[in-house]
Amino acid sequence: MNIFQKRWMTWVLFGLLAVGAFAPLFSADTRLPQWLEVVLGGLMSGVLYSLVALGLVLIFKASGVFNFAQGAMVLFAALSLVRLMEKMPFAVALAVTVLIMIAVAWLIERLVLRPLVNQEGIVLFMATLGIAYFLDGLGQTIWGSDIYTLDVGMPKEPKILLESVFEGGILVGMEDVIAALISATLVAVLALFFQKTGTGRALRAVADDHQAAQSIGIPLNRIWVIVWTVSGLVALVAGIIWGSKLGVQFSLQLVALKALPVVILGGFTSIPGAIIGGLIIGLGEKISEVYLGPMLGGGIENWFAYVLALVFLLFRPEGLFGERHIDRV
């Protein structure tokens, strides 16, 4: 069976999405440079969604836990950094924040995960829900609930490209480009970590079966601390990038919720899936808002991702690159 036969539904969905993305070009009102701006803007937003989704995938791959607290971790990490930066230089604040995120990972393992070893996935998921609320409250209690400006030197002014080709050129946000590059680098590093290192392989073994992994000597508790630490660091990077764009404030964790449809699209266990899922959602929501918004009354950008995720849950619940789940009955 070739790849097309095995994944025909994926290809059909891809085809439909591609048609949707290119359809505006067939409208007389659409100008190519404007369409390119929307596509570029969408793809770059998508990379940022992927960054948060990556944290979700990491924990799911390594522990089988769907971590609802990823958004709260993004907010907590960014809040810690930005408030510490008021008292110390950036490098020191960053180092202290890393230590804080390691401490958070250790505490989560000690207080939440360890007592729940071998419990059902839904139990662990509910535990992360509790962690999310706790971190939300703790972060705002310790660090405050204002909007804090995080300046890490990202360029704010956009650049106009291809002015000689298109009248008025194409506007590209340099902040988005840099964020996309950082995200891409992080993804590459994580992919290597999972595939090429002993710890990465141990993480995958734990994900497959906690008990089996323990029986061959993989220290489950240490592995969980490692994976939550890595996830916390990914949250920190996401928090820095999103915080630099939007200011560090409570809504960061709501943006992070966008990672949920991203992983539903890409598959819960696939790092490339998180990337492609993010790109599809970023592109899709921008195209639909700009070209369908005026007809449907606008506001599509916010719900597009969730509707698309719903379609995937109906037709391809394992996502584009997730592992097909087969139960013996």
Residues that bind other proteins (CB under 8 A): 31, 34, 37-38, 41-42, 45, 137, 140-141, 144-147, 149, 156-158, 171, 173, 175-176, 245-247, 249-252, 254-255, 285-286, 289-290, 293-294, 297-303
Nearest to 151 by CA among 101, 230, 93, 233: 93
Q: How far apart are CA 279 and CA 328, in angstroms?
A: 35
CA distances from 58 to 131, 145, 187, 232 (A): 17, 29, 11, 10
Of residues 245 and 316, the one with the C-beta less far from other proteins: 245
Judged by DSSP in three states, 248 sits in strand
Least distance in angstroms from the C-beta of 184 to other proteins = 19
Least distance in angstroms from the C-beta of 87 to other proteins = 16
Least distance in angstroms from the C-beta of 281 to other proteins = 11
Of residues 267 and 282, the one with the C-beta less far from other proteins: 282
Of residues 236 and 290, the one with the C-beta less far from other proteins: 290
Least distance in angstroms from the C-beta of 193 to other proteins = 30
Of residues 213 and 255, the one with the C-beta less far from other proteins: 255
Of residues 80 and 249, the one with the C-beta less far from other proteins: 249
Least distance in angstroms from the C-beta of 122 to other proteins = 26
Which residues are CB-contacts of 260 (< 8 A; sequence separation ≥ 6)? 56, 309
- CB crowding 169-202: b at 16 or more within 10 Å, else e: ebebbebbbbbbebbeebbeebeeebeeeebbeb
